[in-house]
């Protein structure tokens, strides 16, 4: 990539969280940035529960107070297993920087981030950006450049793909990708009458098949079902039939009590574990979900999106190939670390480790070791240590070699 000078113009395609955050940080730094907003958004979007590590980004973007006003306070997380349950509070995490988070209506969060970009000085254009691959470069269509005039007088110096799971540039360049190990389907909707174990907590439940989430939002609960696609198709011809019938069938969901009732359309995701191996080229870069996304079980998606936007803003400020290489390596490592943790959720090692830890804390040696573990392991799940080599490495080591004689298959997701 040619060196970017201070006068370089940047076009960001896509006004989701990553695109808006990137545009905000670039505009604040004095960059000329145009943000293309296609204006098309689904009624519901995965990413309603935020990990604590997102909060400093919201604060820096100037939207935390606004987000707090329309969200549900999130004090911790609850895991309901086939043979018991466990909860933990963020304010009990040793050495935590942020001790809380939020469950957010995504439509309102996305609007808050878009307005933050406007306030920062980004030029927002309501237009579906068109482009073509021109050798190793991205060329914006003339109609797209015209839509941004007079702010743009010609082609921008850098074009950023923030189109999310549309993955516009990855498809245009046929970039190599890394896929997750599972091919599950996620169906989700908003419901009433859904009981919670701990108010405000995000809930992750092991089901007869697969798992579910319960995310408390103002006046409703987001309920997601993540399971084998072929299996769920046996519950009906439409996604609404599949969702409603499975919700009524699963014994773990029946054990919640109450009478869950769907009050929104059902949304379906099938491709939610995919990462490109290249993040930039001659005059282009990719950010957020357009770069990569992982299984939603630990609510990591928005953190990865905002963290990648922040890292890309730093790379653009430096304007060198080396800076873009650092951005690419950092975000690939972040995605890889989360995928590694997700894998141990599915294979049962993670919850087996938690069970072993509970037993070990009954002994003096276990309590001594726990002082160290409590600083590193929980902060991986809150997102504060997911890019820290030692913390992630310690969790991986313990998941592989610290399970005593317990069989992780007993707690694996079916």
**What CATH number should be reported for the domain holding residue 169?**
3.50.50.60
The whole-number pLDDT of residue 96 equals: 94
The whole-number pLDDT of residue 272 equals: 66
Residues in the chain, overall count = 414
Residue 203 shares a structural domain with residue 237: yes
What values do phi and psi take at 349, rounded to 5?
A: -65, -35
The whole-number pLDDT of residue 293 equals: 92
pLDDT band at 366 (very low <50, low <70, confident <90, very high): low
On whether residue 278 sits in a domain, the answer given is yes
Distance between CA atoms of residues 48 and 46, nearest Å: 6
On whether residue 84 sits in a domain, the answer given is no
Q: Give the rounded percent of residues in the chain with a pLDDT score beyond 90.
A: 86
Which one is predicted more confidently, 363 or 215?
Answer: 215
382, 303 Cβ separation under 8 angstroms: no
Tell me the residue range of the domain where 39 lies: 9-45+106-177+272-340
On whether residue 354 sits in a domain, the answer given is yes
Residue 2 has pLDDT above 70, yes or no: no
On whether residue 90 sits in a domain, the answer given is no
Residue 193 shares a structural domain with residue 261: yes
Here the contacts of 5-8 (C-beta below 8 Å, separation 24 or greater) are 5/319, 6/30, 7/32, 8/32, 8/156, 8/157, 8/158, 8/316, 8/319
Residue 323 shares a structural domain with residue 353: no
Q: What is the DSSP string of 158-197?
A: EEEE--GGG-HHHHHTT--EEE-S--EEEEEEEEES---S
Residue 264 shares a structural domain with residue 218: yes
The whole-number pLDDT of residue 83 equals: 86
On whether residue 101 sits in a domain, the answer given is no
Q: Which of these three, 284, 305, 340, is where a domain ends? A: 340
Distance between CA atoms of residues 226 and 230, nearest Å: 12
On whether residue 63 sits in a domain, the answer given is no
Residue 250 shares a structural domain with residue 358: no
pLDDT band at 367 (very low <50, low <70, confident <90, very high): confident
Distance between CA atoms of residues 299 and 145, nearest Å: 36
Distance between CA atoms of residues 254 and 276, nearest Å: 39
Instruction: State if pTM tops 0.75.
Output: yes
Q: What is the DSSP string of 15-42?
A: -SHHHHHHHHHHHHTT-EEEEEE-----
Residue 235 has pLDDT above 70, yes or no: yes
Question: What CATH number has the domain bearing residue 195?
Answer: 3.30.9.100
DSSP state of 4: P
On whether residue 379 sits in a domain, the answer given is yes
- Give 173-232 pLDDT, tens digit per residue: 999 999 887 889 999 999 999 999 999 999 999 999 999 999 999 999 999 999 999 999
pLDDT band at 265 (very low <50, low <70, confident <90, very high): very high
Q: How many domains are contained in the chain? A: 3
């Amino acid at each position: 990539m040619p060196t970017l000078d201070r006068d370089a113009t940047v076009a960001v395609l896509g006004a989701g969280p990553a695109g808006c955050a990137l545009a905000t940080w670039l505009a604040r730094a004095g960059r000329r940035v145009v943000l293309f907003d296609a204006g098309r958004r689904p009624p519901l979007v995965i990413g309603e529960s935020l990990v604590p590590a997102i909060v400093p980004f919201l604060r820096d973007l100037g939207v935390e107070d606004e987000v707090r006003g329309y969200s549900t306070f999130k004090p911790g997380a609850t895991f309901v297993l086939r043979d018991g349950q466990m909860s933990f509070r963020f304010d009990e995490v040793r050495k935590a920087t942020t001790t809380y988070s939020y469950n957010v209506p995504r439509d309102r969060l996305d609007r808050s981030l878009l307005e933050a970009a406007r306030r920062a000085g980004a030029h927002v254009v309501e237009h579906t950006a068109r482009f073509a691959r021109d050798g190793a470069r991205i060329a914006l269509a003339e109609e797209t450049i015209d839509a941004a005039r007079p702010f743009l007088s010609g082609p921008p110096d850098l074009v950023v793909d923030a189109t999310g799971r549309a993955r516009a540039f990855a498809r245009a360049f046929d970039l190599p990708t890394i896929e997750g190990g599972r091919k599950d389907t996620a169906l989700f909707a908003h419901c009433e009458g859904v009981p919670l174990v701990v108010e405000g907590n995000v809930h992750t439940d092991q089901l007869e098949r697969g798992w579910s989430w319960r995310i408390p939002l103002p006046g409703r609960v987001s309920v997601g079902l993540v399971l084998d696609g072929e299996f769920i198709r046996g519950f009906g011809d439409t996604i609404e039939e599949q969702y409603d019938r499975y919700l009524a069938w699963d014994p773990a969901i029946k054990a919640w009590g109450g009478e869950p009732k769907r009050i929104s359309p059902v949304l379906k995701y099938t491709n939610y574990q995919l990462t490109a191996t290249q993040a930039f080229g001659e005059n282009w870069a990719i950010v957020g979900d357009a770069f990569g996304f992982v299984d939603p079980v630990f609510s990591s998606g928005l953190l990865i999106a905002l963290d990648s936007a922040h890292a890309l803003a730093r790379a653009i400020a430096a304007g060198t190939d080396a800076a873009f290489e650092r951005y690419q390596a950092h975000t690939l490592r972040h995605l890889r670390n989360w995928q590694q943790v997700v894998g141990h959720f599915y294979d049962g090692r993670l919850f087996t480790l938690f069970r072993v830890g509970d037993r070990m804390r009954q002994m003096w040696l276990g309590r001594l070791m726990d002082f160290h573990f409590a600083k590193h392991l929980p902060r991986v799940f809150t997102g504060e240590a997911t890019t820290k080599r030692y913390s992630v490495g310690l969790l991986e080591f313990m998941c592989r070699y610290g399970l005593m004689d317990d069989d992780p298959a007993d707690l694996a997701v079916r």
